[in-house]
Amino acid sequence: MSKLITFSYVFFFIALTTQIIDFKMGGSDYYYHHFLQLVLLVIVVCPIIGIILGLYGKRGNLRMITLALNAVFFITCAPLAVLNLWIMTFGK
């Protein structure tokens, strides 16, 4: 497995772990005021970096799995995170 594919998996699992933490801690006021914007940024950026690293990795099944996992995560989770970031940054 090439280093780029490995890093792509790492960014996918960082984004996945961040999403799980967001689901668990979402109701806390401390979390909302201190960490939410950073968590949303990680949820949006990590799959993009994972896709880019996967595109430049060695050809093969692992590359396709990496691209598919990052793309599915980005399509399912990132639009809501982008919307929340937009509302937090620019208002309604």
What are the pLDDT tens digits along the chain (92 aa)?
Answer: 688 889 999 999 999 998 888 888 878 888 878 888 888 889 999 999 999 999 998 888 989 999 999 999 999 988 988 898 888 888 86
Domain range for 47 is 3-90
Check residue 70 and give its pLDDT: 93
Check residue 39 and give its pLDDT: 87
H or E element, residue 6: helix 3-25
DSSP state of 91: -
- The pTM assigned to this predicted structure is 0.82
Per residue, the 3-state secondary structure of 18-86, as one string, reads HHHHHHHHCCCHHHHHHCHHHHHHHHHHHHHHHHHHHHCCCCCHHHHHHHHHHHHHHHHHHHHHHHHHH
Domains identified in the chain, total number: 1
Q: How far apart are CA 28 and CA 85, in angstroms?
A: 18
